[in-house]
Chains A and B, each alone.
Chain A
Amino acid sequence: MSEAAKSSASELTAPAERAVPGAAAGRAAPTAKQTRALRREQPWRRHLRTTREGKAFVMVTLGVGVAAFNTGNNLLFLILGFMLSLIVLSGVMSETAIRGLRVSRHLPQRAFAGKVSLVEIVLRNKKPRSPSYSLEIEDIAEDAPTERRCYFLKVAPNAEQAAAYRRKPLRRGLMRFVGFRVATRYPFGIFEKWRMLQVPGELLVYPALLGERYTERDMSVSGVDSPSNKLGAGTEIAGLRGYEVGDDARAIHWKRTASLGKLVVMERQSDAAAQLSILLDNARPRDADATFAARLEYAISEAATLALGSLGRGLSVEVIARGGRSPLVLASSAADPILRYLALLEAVDAEQAAGFGTHARSARVARISVPRAAGGA
């Protein structure tokens, strides 16, 4: 109920996530032109689509109209008026449903290319009296197809509900959100009316991580490890403390445990000099072919995977590319500075590419270069 905790409705009317029609068949992402059009969309503008049931309804209405004109039967004219009025009423009620709404999104703190992340959408019905029924919200991003929509059965007046949908970024870099497509087929399901709500946002997508089968390569080690004053996976003992659930059994200090009669574990200091510099060659050769971009992505993914693995093993890590470097991330710290750097890293032309610059002499060094094209020299 973490998403629904924000809801004013019970679990029974909690929102749901649904697949976007056509997404399974590889629905294309909105083009730049479409995105620009969506950005320019006026808040008052409405779009209308006739549903399958709506097409049947319109056909029956036309049939009744033809019959009424043909026979002059006033009761058929009465039914024709009724059906046309239902269409008008449908337009008014659907307008009521999609008006007075505020939608916001909560992006995940980390999102990796090719990996599903949860995006939370919060829908608030600002109308003081009337609830909004049957709303479908699609979060639209530039150059990224939306595979899932959020469905809200009922949002009470002056209340809000939250829902989450799964988004799988296809590539690293900055993902720009345009806004929300708020649609409803309420009240009769004969038309789908939708509007755009401009809610821009940005999500930095980290590089895709390689799987467990990835093996590190070409890592030269230099320098001497020395303990730091921070706790970590080093060799020097920092002190003793009581056992807590989750502690490594190998850290138990048996002698002290035996003397005190309760489990005692050793805390160790991390090795300050255990530092890894990842040299990532992002130079684009003059004869780079069409596959270079994909191969560079692989190299960046290698660097990201290596950085995360090394940080987990207690190494401080930095990534050095041509013309720039990431911040040095200390062991056991969050890898975000490196991942952010890698997310935005671009290739540079080989002729203009600078060198890797300097790195700590004491550091281990891992060199990662763009793999050769299959079948190449």
Chain B
Amino acid sequence: MSFSALHKLIAYLLSGLGLVALCLGNELEQSSIALIFLAYAGSLFAEGKLLEHPAYAKSWTAAVVGLLLLQLARSAADTPTLAMAIEFAAFLQISRLWNRRTAVDYQQIAVLAFLHLIAATVLSTSLSYALIFIGFVIATPWMLALSHLRREIEGNYPTASPDDDRAQAAIRRVLASKRVVGASFLVSTALLAVPLFAMTLTIFVIVPRVGQGFLSLQRSEGQRSAGFGNQIELGGFGVIRDDPTVVLRVTPLRVPTHPSSVLALRMRGTSFDHYDGRRWTRSPSTMLPLPRSDRSQYPIRRPADPDKGDIALRILLDHLDEPVVFLPTGTVALSLAPRIVQGEQISRELIHGPGLDVRYADPDELGLMYTAFISRDPREADIAPSSREQRARYLEVPTGHERVAALAQRVTQGAKDADESAEKLVTYLHSARFGYSLEQPDLKGKLPLDVFLFDVRRGHCEYFASAMAIMLRTLGIPARNVTGFVGGRWNPYGGYYALRQGDAHSWVEAYVEGRGWVTYDPTPPGRADAGPRQNWWSNLQALIDAMRTRWMTSVVGYDLRTQAGLLRGIMRFFSSHGMGGGAPTNLHLGAADAWKRHGKTALLLLAALAVLAAFVWWWMRRRGAAQAARPLPPHVVMAVKLYRDLERVLSEYGYARPVARTPIEHVSALAAQGFVRVDEVREITEHYMEVRYGGRELEDSEIVQLKAALARVRAAKAEARTAKTGSTSGDRRAQ
């Protein structure tokens, strides 16, 4: 591939990556994105004299100015400014791509692509950004090196005036050459991506995270997850049952050796107190700060107590449109690491409202990572009791539910307390009369619960939970509809349990005297069959999610605390090795344990690296030997033979070439000594050098010509001797 073709290809690769990065944030309309990439593809064909026409460049400049004015006007007319700016930035790149003339244009393309990458840092933090970044790591050295070489070619080869046609032709010839850069250049420069990436990560890890705070532009599109806001329409959940998007990742701090592949983790999100017959809502109320016991601990029932065997679950929650803190069943306390702002630790603020709805402040819109402590005591699985006034709101029943009340009475006949009534209702709803279905029933103007309980008797969790909650309320038992997630599939790549959008669920909490709020799940077991299917695609999605999680936790969420922890780990490692055979300490034992766990892996890795290095060395040597042993082409053999014959003849004349003298130097020396056939010697020597080292081919006519020149040199023996003698005597006389 010629230099210019390769340069063009790399320029399009880099600019394409930059444009994709700009489109990551979902700020642009689909039509704008389509237009951008249409113009991008069209610019591939902009070549030749069209680009040189003065009116062409002027019209593009006018277009850029025009678009700027248009965008300003649109921005003034309440169109989102960010989208306008992104469109304009993309157009600038498009304009450059349609005006690729010189090295300066290519440099501008590289600069704009890089600026797009920088701009995209405030548009998206997704895994796609990571992939684009890796693309930049590979393509940037190519692009910068080629742009630099092109600039040097354009700057150095017009030895006369750069406007001179001959100079331009010389530049075009060099740019069309396939010899300047080839496959070896591409491969070696691409291999540079490895150390480049390693250095980038090293610098990324070691640069102290002491800043942050003045201008946070971080933003991302939160996942829309129905059911956790202030209201839900009955029938909103069923449609997302098969959505495999992961929302929550739960990692037990002590992972068993063989974790079970599926868990039924119940993650409580939001409770609803008011039901109007068709939708659940949360009554407006003041959210209060959740009390803290120290900088990071938030007791829910009591402080976490390792002596009681509390189980710790580390939870990574994606940014949702509602900043809900999901609580596993039996949560007694939460732990959230403080935020680090300008080097200072500032505790996160958690708030809660009636019904234990916990929310967090989400200024970064990056989601939340927290630890939930779960009690092993079954009594602590219930939510703490609340006052009679607080419970009153959970007894409201909308009008028109008399049939529901009658059914509740009939089903719970003979029950002694609230718990027994609730259990009877659960048994009733789990019975064969009812079935799980994602299909929305046709209400025909009736109340949803009437249709569900008396007509279709099929529905999803929301219908079951709503029916049970209202039935309990008709019996005078405080009850509320609770939404959250139930599920958890083990992700072997990331080492966590993933809860997906499809695991969203709805259940009931009823107030039982003496216990508090007890969880009841009236949805029949058929729900489990309606979840996302497990196949190769879901495995691939698990892998992608593990990468995404690693990206979010290790790169996007990397902070001073992680940095300090890493530093402590490194210091522990070195200090434990430095202590040698001293008395065992906790520190030492920790390092020894780490070595026991990771030592073999590290050794295997080192051995693999050594084998790889040995293979590369062997391969390069073999390649070098093969190149050395490669036979010369016939025309090169002929040129070498002619030059060897010439050297023999010159040697006979007493003009042998010293070893330290190059062929060209020898020609100059012969000229200085007055050798008569120096022109013939020069002709043969120059052809020899061009063919042997310059890659030029020798034509048949040239071979005949060179043989004739060699014959003339042979025939000039007498003349040569005469000249040599004359020159020597002349010099002697001159002395």
Q: Which residues of A pack against B, CB within 8 Å?
A: 1-2, 4-13, 16-18, 53, 60, 64, 68-82, 84-86, 88-89, 93, 106, 109, 122, 128-130, 133-134, 151, 153-154, 159, 162, 185-189, 327-330, 333, 337
* B303 CB within 8 Å of chain A: no
- Inter-subunit contact B558/A88 (CB<8 Å): no
Cβ–Cβ < 8 Å partners of B188 in chain A: 130
A-B residue pairs in contact (CB < 8 Å), sample of 19: A4-B694, A5-B664, A7-B693, A12-B174, A75-B121, A78-B133, A80-B204, A81-B199, A89-B195, A89-B196, A109-B668, A128-B624, A133-B149, A134-B152, A185-B148, A186-B145, A187-B141, A327-B735, A337-B734
* Interface footprint category on B: 35 or more
- Inter-subunit contact A70/B215 (CB<8 Å): yes
Cβ–Cβ < 8 Å partners of B156 in chain A: 16, 18, 151, 153
Cβ–Cβ < 8 Å partners of B122 in chain A: 73
Residue of B nearest to A3 (CB): B664
Cβ–Cβ < 8 Å partners of A85 in chain B: 196, 199-200, 203
B117 CB contact (under 8 Å) in A6, A79, A153: A79
Cβ–Cβ < 8 Å partners of A2 in chain B: 664, 686
- Inter-subunit contact A17/B159 (CB<8 Å): yes
- Inter-subunit contact B174/A153 (CB<8 Å): yes
Cβ–Cβ < 8 Å partners of B693 in chain A: 6-8, 159
- Inter-subunit contact B217/A74 (CB<8 Å): no
Interface string of B519-530 (1 = CB under 8 A from A): 000000000000
**B688 → chain A closest CB, angstroms:** 9
Complex-state Cα separation, A249 to B569, whole angstroms: 98
* B550 CB within 8 Å of chain A: no
Cβ–Cβ < 8 Å partners of B148 in chain A: 134, 185-189
CB-contacts of B181-219 with A (<8 A)? 188-189, 192, 195-196, 199-204, 207, 209-218
Cβ–Cβ < 8 Å partners of B624 in chain A: 128-129
- Inter-subunit contact A79/B121 (CB<8 Å): yes
Q: A10-B694, A74-B556 are in contact. List 9 more A-B contacts (CB 8 A).
A: A5-B685, A7-B689, A69-B210, A79-B133, A81-B207, A133-B149, A153-B152, A154-B179, A187-B145
* B137 CB within 8 Å of chain A: yes
| A189 and B690 in contact, given A75-B121, A76-B121, A81-B201 (Cβ under 8 angstroms) | no
A73 CB contact (under 8 Å) in B147, B159, B218, B662: B218
**B161 → chain A closest CB, angstroms:** 12
- Inter-subunit contact A18/B202 (CB<8 Å): no
**B135 → chain A closest CB, angstroms:** 12
Complex-state Cα separation, A15 to B341, whole angstroms: 56
Which of A64, A71, A106 has its CB near the most chain B CB atoms (within 10 A)? A71
- Inter-subunit contact B204/A81 (CB<8 Å): yes
A72 CB contact (under 8 Å) in B155, B211, B686: B211
Cβ–Cβ < 8 Å partners of A16 in chain B: 156-157, 159
Complex-state Cα separation, A330 to B730, whole angstroms: 8
| A89 and B149 in contact, given A71-B217, A72-B213, A130-B188 (Cβ under 8 angstroms) | no
Cβ–Cβ < 8 Å partners of B686 in chain A: 1-2, 5
**A198 → chain B closest CB, angstroms:** 19
| A7 and B694 in contact, given A69-B210, A72-B213, A187-B141 (Cβ under 8 angstroms) | yes
**A144 → chain B closest CB, angstroms:** 22
Complex-state Cα separation, A109 to B672, whole angstroms: 9
- Inter-subunit contact A333/B690 (CB<8 Å): no
Complex-state Cα separation, A74 to B68, whole angstroms: 31
B734 CB contact (under 8 Å) in A106, A189, A328: A328
Complex-state Cα separation, A9 to B734, whole angstroms: 44
Count how many pairs of residues, one from A and one from B, have CB atoms less than 8 Å apart in the complex. Answer: 193
Residue of A nearest to B146 (CB): A187
| A153 and B129 in contact, given A7-B694, A86-B144, A333-B730 (Cβ under 8 angstroms) | no
Cβ–Cβ < 8 Å partners of B734 in chain A: 327-330, 333, 337
Complex-state Cα separation, A103 to B179, whole angstroms: 23
Complex-state Cα separation, A185 to B151, whole angstroms: 11
- Inter-subunit contact B664/A89 (CB<8 Å): no
* B501 CB within 8 Å of chain A: no
Interface string of B114-140 (1 = CB under 8 A from A): 100110111001000100010011001
Cβ–Cβ < 8 Å partners of B559 in chain A: 72
| A12 and B218 in contact, given A1-B690, A188-B145, A328-B734 (Cβ under 8 angstroms) | no
A6 CB contact (under 8 Å) in B177, B202, B664: B664
| A13 and B137 in contact, given A74-B558, A89-B199, A186-B148 (Cβ under 8 angstroms) | no
Cβ–Cβ < 8 Å partners of A185 in chain B: 148, 152
**B450 → chain A closest CB, angstroms:** 53
CB-contacts of B327-382 with A (<8 A)? 341
- Inter-subunit contact A82/B149 (CB<8 Å): no
**A228 → chain B closest CB, angstroms:** 11
Residue of A nearest to B205 (CB): A81
Cβ–Cβ < 8 Å partners of B214 in chain A: 70-71
Residue of B nearest to A78 (CB): B204
* B658 CB within 8 Å of chain A: no
**B547 → chain A closest CB, angstroms:** 15
- Inter-subunit contact A81/B202 (CB<8 Å): yes
* B295 CB within 8 Å of chain A: no
Cβ–Cβ < 8 Å partners of A76 in chain B: 118, 121
- Inter-subunit contact A153/B153 (CB<8 Å): yes
Complex-state Cα separation, A162 to B149, whole angstroms: 19
- Inter-subunit contact B689/A12 (CB<8 Å): no
Cβ–Cβ < 8 Å partners of A88 in chain B: 199
Cβ–Cβ < 8 Å partners of B155 in chain A: 18
**B632 → chain A closest CB, angstroms:** 14
* B278 CB within 8 Å of chain A: no
| A82 and B192 in contact, given A71-B217, A153-B156, A187-B144 (Cβ under 8 angstroms) | no
| A71 and B558 in contact, given A4-B694, A5-B689, A81-B201 (Cβ under 8 angstroms) | no
* B180 CB within 8 Å of chain A: yes
- Inter-subunit contact A10/B177 (CB<8 Å): yes
**A12 → chain B closest CB, angstroms:** 4
* B173 CB within 8 Å of chain A: yes
- Inter-subunit contact A82/B662 (CB<8 Å): no
- Inter-subunit contact A13/B174 (CB<8 Å): yes
* B555 CB within 8 Å of chain A: yes
- Inter-subunit contact B555/A188 (CB<8 Å): no
Cβ–Cβ < 8 Å partners of A130 in chain B: 188
Residue of B nearest to A18 (CB): B156
* B58 CB within 8 Å of chain A: no
* B644 CB within 8 Å of chain A: no
- Inter-subunit contact A71/B216 (CB<8 Å): yes
Complex-state Cα separation, A1 to B488, whole angstroms: 75
**B194 → chain A closest CB, angstroms:** 11
Complex-state Cα separation, A17 to B122, whole angstroms: 47
**A5 → chain B closest CB, angstroms:** 4
- Inter-subunit contact B199/A106 (CB<8 Å): no
Residue of B nearest to A134 (CB): B152
* B531 CB within 8 Å of chain A: no
Cβ–Cβ < 8 Å partners of A84 in chain B: 199-200, 203
Cβ–Cβ < 8 Å partners of A162 in chain B: 664
Residue of A nearest to B197 (CB): A85
Complex-state Cα separation, A11 to B176, whole angstroms: 12
Cβ–Cβ < 8 Å partners of B215 in chain A: 70-71
| A82 and B200 in contact, given A1-B690, A73-B122 (Cβ under 8 angstroms) | yes
Cβ–Cβ < 8 Å partners of B147 in chain A: 189
Cβ–Cβ < 8 Å partners of B690 in chain A: 1, 5
Complex-state Cα separation, A347 to B735, whole angstroms: 24
B173 CB contact (under 8 Å) in A6, A12, A128: A12
Cβ–Cβ < 8 Å partners of B672 in chain A: 109
Residue of A nearest to B217 (CB): A71
**A19 → chain B closest CB, angstroms:** 9
Complex-state Cα separation, A185 to B147, whole angstroms: 12
Cβ–Cβ < 8 Å partners of A86 in chain B: 140-141, 144, 196
Complex-state Cα separation, A162 to B216, whole angstroms: 57
Complex-state Cα separation, A86 to B192, whole angstroms: 10
A10 CB contact (under 8 Å) in B137, B555, B685, B696: B696
Cβ–Cβ < 8 Å partners of B620 in chain A: 129
